[in-house]
């Protein structure tokens, strides 16, 4: 019974350590990174949704690279886009974009490092090739 008890205690210790690791508060960088991914996914879903208004096709392209200084202008432009106010999904997306912008310029201003200021890279991103399944 003793080896089983030691194994059980080891397992409990390992699971406790895993829970503590996941409970750590997010850093500014991790929050910005996760929110930008969430926004990108929401934008892709919005573009492919059949239930949305035709104005969605006219929305500014929303490819986000938080390491590119031009992303700040991209976020401002998207929030300021005058159309699609009556489409709930667009309004929700604009709220997320506004939150990301605020986090980047206020809370995380000193924590972020911009590696480039290539604005055209946000308009025509070079995406990794899609591997065949």
Q: Tell me what the mean pLDDT of segment 61-70 comes to.
A: 87
Q: Can you give the pLDDT at residue 108?
A: 83
Query: Is residue 108 in a domain?
Result: yes
Q: Tell me what the mean pLDDT of segment 15-41 comes to.
A: 76
Query: Is residue 106 in a domain?
Result: yes
Query: Is residue 29 in a domain?
Result: yes
Question: What confidence tens digit (pLDDT) does each residue in 92-124 have?
Answer: 999 999 999 999 998 887 778 888 888 888 877
Query: Is residue 17 in a domain?
Result: no
pLDDT at 1 over 90: no
Query: Is residue 19 in a domain?
Result: no
Q: Can you give the pLDDT at residue 21?
A: 53
Q: What does pTM read for this prediction?
A: 0.71
Query: Is residue 122 in a domain?
Result: no
Number of domains into which the chain is organized: 1
Q: Can you give the pLDDT at residue 126?
A: 62
- Residues of the domain holding 51: 25-117
pLDDT at 20 over 90: no
Q: Can you give the pLDDT at residue 73?
A: 92
Query: Is residue 72 in a domain?
Result: yes
Query: Is residue 104 in a domain?
Result: yes
CA dist 110 to 13, 64, 76, 113, 114, Å? 37, 19, 19, 8, 11
């Amino acid at each position: 019974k003793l080896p089983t008890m030691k194994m059980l205690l080891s397992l409990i210790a390992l699971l406790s350590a895993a829970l503590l690791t996941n409970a750590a508060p997010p850093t500014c960088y991790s929050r910005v990174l996760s929110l930008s991914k969430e926004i990108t996914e929401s934008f892709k879903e919005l573009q492919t949704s059949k239930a949305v208004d035709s104005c969605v096709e006219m929305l500014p392209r929303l490819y986000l690279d938080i390491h590119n200084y031009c992303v700040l202008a991209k976020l401002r432009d998207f929030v300021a886009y005058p159309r699609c106010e009556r489409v709930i999904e667009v309004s929700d997306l604009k709220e997320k974009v506004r939150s990301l912008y605020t986090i980047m310029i206020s809370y995380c201003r000193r924590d972020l490092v911009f590696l480039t200021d290539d604005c055209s890279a946000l308009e025509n991103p070079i995406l990794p090739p899609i591997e065949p399944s």
